Structure formats: structure tokens, C-alpha cells
Structure 1
Amino acid sequence: MGNSEVYLTDVTGRDGFQMEKDWIETEDKRLILQGIIDAGIKRIEATSFVSPKSIPQLKDAKEIVGSLKSEEITVVALVPNVKGAENALKSGVDEINFVLSISETHNRKNVNHTVRESLEEVYSIQKLMNSTQTVLNVSLGTTFGCPFEGKFNVSKVSSVIDQLMYNGVDKVTLADTTGMANPKKISHYITTLREAFPVVQFSLHLHNTRGMGLVNLLAGYNAGVRHFDASLGGIGGCPFAPGATGNVCLEDVVHMFMEMGVPIGPSINLKKLINTSKKMEEILGYKLPGQVMKAGTAGEVIAN
């Protein structure tokens, strides 16, 4: 399968914070994200340029991006439409992550568009970005199933990627928005899609809704995916999908790959990640679902 190294994108600032009901001060958000960066994670999906009426927690998107700009990291922002892309470009992000759902029902609830309308937005955003150095990634929500429409066949996903390829998109994230995937399904999807679209860089964005986040991620790795999203402490979820819970936990993912001897980049410091997760737990004021921050690493020896 070639390169064995894993590349991680932290999505705490966007997918993590968007579910928080109580306002998190911008300085606290910046403190958490800077802690993640200082722990060696160099790719950060920091926020979303979305209507503050839809997700008020992310109304400080411009300030967050401005505080993180650095040549050493890649700052990503999620956008739901052309207006969001325009604002993201003005802020100077390195990459735009456009989101659309495989499910018509979820896409309408999430971004108030049909799937076709969202695909038309992709074309408009590509034109907008032609004169910039900014990269476009497209995230496909509810890839493995939808709480409104049930489970999907991989052919449904392939038909959408076909249209993205026609528009020149070669970076695609497959998102298990409400944790409906299983390792067998992940393996089948990834094997099928990588064979059908060999030039596409696939990423996986997995949620731990039913406790299968890490095993699904490992199934994706074994099937050839090398790019994964995760959030500190395992926080997050989709506000427009019933029952949605957090992402795979960033420090748990790092710990798993380290224990397996899989390269994840020499700069990642697991202890710093755990400390930042504990700090975030204090800021948010509740126990986070992450496991390694509670138990410690498998290599730690407890004195009797």
C-alpha cells in the first residue's frame, strides 16, 4: 500500500466546538487550538464560515483564523456555500472544506440545499478559487448512512464523486456523520472507491456514536487511507443530525498508532495533547469521552 505514515487533521475548533451550547470565549478557543498545534498537530480545521444564526458558537471565525495564521501549519475552514467560501478566502485560510451530504434529507437540514444545488456550489467555489493558492476539499456527510434515509450503497457515493471529479475535485473526505459504519463496510467502501478513483486523496471523518470509531478508523487505514480527522477529547457532532455524538478522539488515535508503531510524524507529543485535553475539560466544565486522558498511556507504569 506504499506509504504507511498517517496524517491527522484536528477538527476540534469546528466540529468539536459547534456542538457546545455555552459560549466559549474566543481566547479560550485560541488557547486550546494553540495547545494542539504546540503538541505537533500541523493541520487544523479551525472553524466554519457559516451563518451565526445557524451555529452561533462559530461567529468568531474570522478572529480564530487570524490568530492561527502561520507558515508552519495548514489552517482549514469548513464552508456550506459560496458566501462562506468568499469569507474564508478573505480571512486567508490555506484550505477550504466544502460540505455536502449524500443524503438529500440531511443535506437540506444541514445546508438548506438539494444535493444537486450543493454540487453546483462546488463549481462556483472552484471558479472563485482559480486565482488563489487555496486548496479545496469536499466532505461528503452521511457517506455510510443517514438517520433519516437509512443505509446507502457505495454506488450512491461513487455517483457523487464522479460529479466532483468532473469539477476538478481530487480531495474528498468520507464522513460517518452519525456513526453508522462498521469495519466491514469501511473496508468495502474504501477498496471500491480507491479502485474507482485512484487519483483522489481520500480522508476519513469518523464519529464514535456507537463505540466503533477507532476500529472503523483502523479498517480505513488497513484499506489504504492515510488521512484522518479527529477532535481533542472526542468532542463534537452534527447539530442537524439526531443522536450525533463526538468524533474519534485525537489523543486516542495518536496513542493507538504510536502503540502500533505506525508513523504519525516526529513532532507529535502525546503528553502535550493529553494535557491540553485536560485543560479543555476544565474550560468546558464536563467530563470528556476521551479514554487515554483518563487512563494514561499503555506504556505508563503505576507505582504501588
Structure 2
Amino acid sequence: MTLHLPKKVTIIEVGPRDGLQNEKNFIPTAIKIDFIKRLQETGLQEMELTSFVSPKWVPQMRDASDILASCLNPKMKHIVLVPNRKGIELVLKTPCRAVAVFVGVSDEFNKRNSNKTTAESMKELVPAVTELKGKGYFVRACISTAFYCPYKGKIVEADTIKLCQQFIDAGVDELSVADTIGMAAPHESYSLFSKITEYFPNHLITAHFHDTRKMGLANIYSALEAGIVRFDTSAGGLGGCPFAKGATGNVATEDVVYMLSRMGIETGVDGTKLVSAIDLVRPYLSSPIESAFYRLHSTAE
């Protein structure tokens, strides 16, 4: 059997932002900074650092300015998530040059997330993307509920592709297409990403899988077969979604790196150093680390 797999894959670490945002207890800023700096030493080249969101809704991110002041590394691409115009104004005041915007394919999810329909969010985001590109920023568009919505159920593939097209037309550099509630099955991963890579062959396409039903690694494998070579992952499998009850974190970075390594696919990321980074933040987390690689290699009690 011939496997149509790449020789190299890019890992985008989202643990400091997507991973920690759902933690109920505030993690000290100094711990977050040390966590990020250890992750920076693993060989990762791209990372979501934090987000400029309302502290009222996501209190864990209230130290975004302090994180950026301490953690920007010129050797890496660091990304800041911004939900709206206010977030964009804040990021424009920082040295960070890569920005992520987000919207859900599902109106129901989007209303709970940003109090707007998908169309209303896009009406605000399209001119924002144009402005950011005009100022020389790298812009990443995060497409939430690309497969399933916790309120609506299954999402029609054509709706996800239509939203991707709107962002491509607006000029974004990257699409991060997310299985927000971790419900996609491998055949659905292959189907959607095959179409996306066919329709948008000249753009950066990233797959973002949550591991709620333990299908994350299988979905990554299917996406690899569909031509995807970029994946969002979270050290320790940290994360969840405040607006998707029961959704767990992203697929664990260390498990993904191990699987790809066993398949002969290069990531440039050191799994042992990932474990060291997770060891630092683990005592401050509300849930145990369930990553197989971490459990087998950590010496932390």
C-alpha cells in the first residue's frame, strides 16, 4: 500500500492561548511566561501566544499585554487572537505582527461566542483584514465549527467552504479550519480537507482538531492524506471552549510529534522538551494531563 504523506509538517502550538483560556483558576503570569519560553526551546516555529479578549468573558487572558511584552521571539512567528475592533486596536500598539481573527460557520455558535451572526461578524472582519494586510500584518482566519456545532449539529461542507472563500477573498494568509467540539470522524476530515486543498491550493491551510472523542490523531492522519501539512496542537492536550460545553483540548502536541516521527515525518520539535514545558504548568491546571506521550515520559509526581 502506498501512503501519500508529506516529508515535513509544521506544528502551530496553541497551548498558551487556546489551551489555557478555559482554565477556571488564573494561572500566574510568570508561570505562563516560563511555559511559553520553554515551548520556544522545543523547536516550534509558530505559536499562538495570547488573545486580546474581554477579561469579563475570558479572564485567563487578562494579562495579554504582559505576555507579549515578555515573550515575543524574533526567530518565531507569534500570533495574537483578536475578536473585534477593540482587540485589533490593542494589538496594533504592540510589536506583534501576526494576528488571528475568528468566526464560526454556525450562526448559533457565533451568536453565543460574539453576539453576532456569522454574516454580521464577517461584515466587521473583512474591512479589518484589509486594514491589517495594508499595514503588513500576517492574518490568520480561524474557522470554528467547521464540522459540527454544539447547538445546530452537523455543518454542511459547502457552508464551511463558502466562509473560507470569503476570508480568502478578503486577503487572509492562512485558514485554520477547526473541529471545535471534537466530533468529526476521519472520513469527514478527509472529505472536507480534500475539497479545501483543491479549492485553495495556493494558501496556507491548517487543521485544528479537538480530541473530545479521542479521534484527533486519526483525523490528523486523514488530513495528511488529504494534503494538509499544518496542524494546530496544544502541549499536554490543554484546552476546551467556553462556548462548547464538554469540548476538551486540542490534540496533544507531544502525541502528534511522536506519531509523525514514527511515520518518518519531520516536525523539528523535541518531545522531551515539550514534556519539560508541560511539567512546569501542570500543577496549576484544573484537570490532569491525559497525553500518552506525557504519561510515559514525565518524571513529575
Q: Under a length normalisation based on structure 2, what TM-score does the superposition of the two structures give?
A: 0.94
Q: Which moved more, 1:225-234 or 1:1-10?
A: 1-10
Q: Does 1:155 align with 2:158?
A: yes
Tell me by how many angstroms 1:2 deviates: 8.7
Report the equivalent of 1:63: 66
Q: Could you say which residue in structure 2 is the equivalent of 1:133?
A: 136
- TM-superposed CA distance for 1:169, in Å, is 2.4
Secondary structure class of the residue paired with 2:135:
coil
Partner of 2:280: 279
Alpha-carbon distance, 1:283 to partner: 3.2
CA contact (8 A) 1:65 1:75 kept: no
Aligned residues: 295
2-structure distance, mates of 1:130, 1:186:
30
Change (3 A) 1:2 1:235: closer
CA distance in 2 between counterparts of 1:40 and 1:204 reads: 20
Please give the residue correspondences for 1:100-115 in structure 2 after superposition, counting only pairs within 5 Å: 100-115=103-118
Pairwise CA distance, 1:161: 1.8
Q: Deviations over 1:5-33 (max 9, x none)?
A: 11011111111111100110100000111
1:21 equivalent to 2:24? Answer yes
Deviations 1:130-161 (A, max 9, x none): 44221111011000010100101211112112
Q: 1:290 to 1:128 in 2, by over 3 A?
A: same
Task: Find the partner of 1:242 among 225, 242, 245.
Answer: 245
Secondary structure of the 2:93 match is helix
User: What SS does structure 2 have at the residue aligned with 1:91?
Assistant: coil
Question: Contact 1:109/1:240 (CA < 8 Å) preserved in 2?
Answer: yes
SS in 1 for 2:30: helix
Aligned to 1:203: 206
Gap change, CA 1:155 and 1:65, over 3 Å in 2: same
Give CA deviations for 1:87-146 in whole Å, capped at 9, x if unaligned. Answer: 122222231110100000100111121111211222221232144221111011000010
Matches for 1:74-93 after TM superposition, within 5 Å: 74-93=77-96
Q: Does 1:183 align with 2:183?
A: no
Find the residue that maps to 2:92 and give its secondary structure: helix
CA contact (8 A) 1:44 1:74 kept: yes
CA distance in structure 2 between the partners assigned to 1:130 and 1:243 by the alignment:
36
Helix, strand or coil: the match of 2:143?
strand
Task: Give the one of 217, 221, 224 matched to 2:224.
Answer: 221
Q: Quick check: 1:139–1:175 contact (8 Å CA) kept in 2?
A: yes
Residue 270 of structure 2 is matched in structure 1 by 269
Quick check: 1:231 aligned with 2:234?
yes
The runs of 5 or more residues in structure 2 that have no matched partner are: none
Distance 1:44 1:99 in 2: 16
Stretch deviating more after TM superposition (38-47 or 180-189): 38-47
Return the letter of the residue paired with 1:284: L
More moved, 282-291 vs 116-125: 282-291
Q: Is the 8 A contact 1:82 1:124 kept in 2?
A: no
Structure 1 stretch 47-56 or stretch 117-126: which is displaced more? 117-126
Q: CA deviation at 1:4?
A: 2.8
Rounded to whole Å, the distance in 2 between the matches of 1:157 and 1:284 is 33
Q: Quick one: distance in 2 between partners of 1:109 and 1:92?
A: 31
Structure 1 residue ranges, 4+ long, deviating more than 3 angstroms after superposition: none
Deviation track 1:217-260 (CA, whole Å, cap 9, x = no partner) reads 11111211111111111010110111111110011111111111
Alignment of 1:296 with 2:300, yes or no, is no
Question: What secondary structure sits across from 1:44 in the alignment?
Answer: strand
Amino acid corresponding to residue 270 of structure 2 in structure 1: N
CA–CA distance in 1 between the matches of 2:135 and 2:98?
Answer: 10
C-alpha distance in 2, partners of 1:187/1:131? 34
CA distance in 2, matches of 1:153, 1:286: 33
